Amino acid sequence: MSYKIVFFDVDGTITHHEDCSIPSSTIKAIKTLKTKGIKVVAATGRPLSMCKELQELGIETFITANGGYVKHIQEVIHKVPIDKNILQEVVEFAKIENSGLSFYTEEFCMNGV
């Protein structure tokens, strides 16, 4: 069987479940796959702005935000932005409930907790 692409979950799969480190065996496996011309994709609930260590491994394709944002190299393939009116309602509700919100873009994250 010939593989062309391999998808990896991130937290608890590529990264260790306790300290988020990336085992040397995983780093080696990713490098081996890439050397063989196999595409490596990270699929995660994380936003892309929290995937820098994976980009440093040479991973170029990301399915992030639980499928809400997909990027290959510099091309955004898929995105599901939140409607501004809905976002404003959520922000107002969080203020009323005295709850923090976290916001993420491709390059930025803000934790309002």
* pLDDT tens across the length of the chain (113 residues): 788 999 999 998 899 888 989 999 999 999 999 999 999 999 999 999 889 999 999 999 999 999 999 999 999 999 998 899 999 999 999 999 999 888 887 777 666 65
Catalytic status, residue 83? no
pLDDT in the model for residue 113: 56
pTM of the model: 0.84
- In whole angstroms, what is the distance from residue 101 CA to residue 108 CA? 14
Domain positions in the chain? 1-80, 82-113
Helix (H, G, I), strand (E, B) or coil at 50: helix
CATH of the domain spanning 1-80, picked from 3.30.365.10, 3.40.50.510, 3.40.50.1000, 2.40.30.10: 3.40.50.1000
